[in-house]
Structure 1
Amino acid sequence: MKDYLLLFRGGPQYIPSAEQPQAPISPDWRNWMETLVKNGRFVAGQRLVGDTGAVLKGRKTQLTDGPYAEGKEVVAGYLIIKANDLEEAAALLKGCPIFEHDDASTEIREIAF
């Protein structure tokens, strides 16, 4: 089995803030993730604080506020899951609550080891 990184963008603003880092996880998300754990597919994952961050750019590694200009581009969190291939990783995303929102997306990337 291979490890895949899932990057969640957009969707509802359940993103924790610096003032409220322990924002509650919705029951739908909790149930979906518990299924991944139960099936031995969950490796790791966290939500990210949505209102802080920085970006380093270019050869001079210029530091700018970030992470992005538009909310739908902000990475709200990530998971690492186990799957046999990209198609299976995508199939494991079926039922993920983020897809209840039209502006949401998830990028799936194989992790090189």
Structure 2
Amino acid sequence: MTKFLYVYHGSGKMPATETERKAVTDAWNGWFGKLGKSVVDGGNPVGMSKTVLSGGKIENNGGSNPTGGYSIIEARDIDDAAEKAKGCPMLAMPNCSVEIAPIIEMM
């Protein structure tokens, strides 16, 4: 099995109420539960990013496609990883996506 990095993109907003937080947590836990042992690292949401460009220029806009979080999942190949991503709760939000890339072990 190969490890894949899932990078969640979009403008997902953090839930404001306890009820909303529980619903979001339940959705993610349910999806991770379906993936079972494929979940290597459930990851975390991330805060607003900065982008350092060549020449040292820093942009504070979160990038053209803001990162919302990440996970590491095991799958047979990238097609299997893409199929597994289809159930991601992030995809229920407008303008959100999951970017998938194989993690290349260097040693």
Aligned length, in residue pairs: 98
Shift of 1:68: 2.2
Greater percentage in helix: 2
CA RMSD of aligned residues (A): 2.2
Tell whether 2:48 aligns with 1:56. Answer: no
Normalising by structure 2, report the TM-score: 0.77
Report the counterpart of residue 12 of structure 1 in structure 2.
Answer: 12
Q: Which residue of the partner structure matches residue 37 of structure 2?
A: 40
- Partner amino acid for 1:6? Y
With the length of structure 1 as denominator, give the TM-score of the two structures: 0.73
Structure 2: runs of 5+ lacking an equivalent:
16-20
- Equivalent position of 1:85 in the other structure: 77
Q: Deviations over 1:46-72 (max 9, x none)?
A: 1101xx3321111x2223323226xxx
Measured at CA, do residues 106 and 94 of structure 1 come closer, stay the same or move farther in structure 2, by a change above 3 Å?
A: same
Displacement after TM superposition at 1:101 (Å): 2.8
Q: Distance in 1 between matches of 2:85 and 2:79?
A: 10
Secondary structure of 1:14 counterpart: coil
Distance across 2 between alignment mates of 1:62 and 1:111: 28
| Aligned partners of 2:12 and 2:68 also within 8 Å | no
Q: Percent identity?
A: 25
Find 1:98's aligned residue among 86, 90, 101.
Answer: 90
Distance 1:4 1:101 in 2: 22
Q: Distance in 2 between matches of 1:76 and 1:55?
A: 14
